Chain A
């Protein structure tokens, strides 16, 4: 069975690639963990065994790179929440829009031609 090539699919291979990074995002549900992360993001990422590319993507908040390096959107979102960013902000990043433009596109009925 072939996978759709025209859309983003979080499959087993992606999940393996992103496993350590997603585990780190999951840990951020706990307030003390969030404090430690904020204190030294690099060290916290190293502790969870992220690859250098993943660490860079996290520290630089390169959201698209996090997806490309195996991040699941539901896990990546934990990091966005720490920064006070919304899912609409992320949607804007992925589609080259501002958050306001992305929200407006949804209010117009969404990107129906996608």
Chain B
């Protein structure tokens, strides 16, 4: 049977990808962030999944404002790396896992989550930067297949934190009924606190971030109880991306083990973080 190996919560800021693409990871600005990634990268390199389910949001690259799906999933065999207006990132295109995607669609719809289905999708930095954080040197191909799961975090009203956590729990149930013996990693991407537009641009809330970074492991219910307004106020209008971490968390076991985490300000206009969790640990009886 399928099983979830590990979960990775991580920022997906485009400039983190650009720093890697332009060989700037040792610059004084970027070095602390990339040094912080290292222990997690080493552990993940020894625990290669067959498929990564990447929960992310598009930023006006694969999807526009004609159609704004609250939750959507890709079912394609391949996903092209999007040209976001300055050429494609020099990273491999993404190979899908239609079998797992279609299983998830069936299971999740039966479980009350009516996802929009993308048969074709260009994936932007929201998906490729987390892949690069996991695997900085993929060569010609990423080490695993990918199922993209998109969340509307751009246009208000975004789904609630509670709904995201519940979707994660439904994904956990769906994976438990996927017969093939595949190992799955779940990525919850975005955050942490940041605001891009308006008079509050540049807002960072390290106290909230550190609480969230701890509670994502130990008290996800407290995070799921946050309202949209709480999140926008405390994490900034783009910091609401953190709801995507709850989908990852919901898909994991009650007890998980923190392998490594790191927090750094700034990455562009954001507080950046990574938290890696091992899902295969003894559970309370």
Contacts of B199 in A (CB 8 A): 8, 94-95
- Given known contacts A7-B232, A9-B232, A102-B202, A74 and B265 CB-to-CB distance under 8 angstroms: no
Does A59 sit at the interface, judged by CB under 8 A? no
Does B83 sit at the interface, judged by CB under 8 A? yes
A111 touches which of B60, B85, B203, B237 (Cβ 8 Å): B203
**Contact string, A77-114, partner B, CB cutoff 8 A, digits 1/0?**
11001100001101100110000001001110111101
Contacts of B60 in A (CB 8 A): 22, 25-26, 72, 74-75, 77-78
Contacts of A74 in B (CB 8 A): 59-60, 154
B266 A107 Cβ-Cβ under 8 A: yes
A106 B269 Cβ-Cβ under 8 A: yes
Does B281 sit at the interface, judged by CB under 8 A? no
B268 A87 Cβ-Cβ under 8 A: yes
Nearest CB in chain B to that of A82: its residue: B85
B195 A8 Cβ-Cβ under 8 A: yes
A2 B203 Cβ-Cβ under 8 A: no
A110 touches which of B83, B204, B229 (Cβ 8 Å): B204
Which residues in window 56-78 of B have CB below 8 A to A? 59-61, 64-66, 68
Contacts of A69 in B (CB 8 A): none
B65 A29 Cβ-Cβ under 8 A: no
CA distance A90 to B82 in the complex (A): 23
Does B227 sit at the interface, judged by CB under 8 A? yes
Contacts of B202 in A (CB 8 A): 91, 95, 102, 105-106, 110-111, 114
- Those 9 A-B pairs whose CB atoms lie nearest each other, nearest first: A110-B204, A8-B198, A114-B203, A106-B266, A11-B156, A73-B197, A91-B201, A111-B202, A94-B201
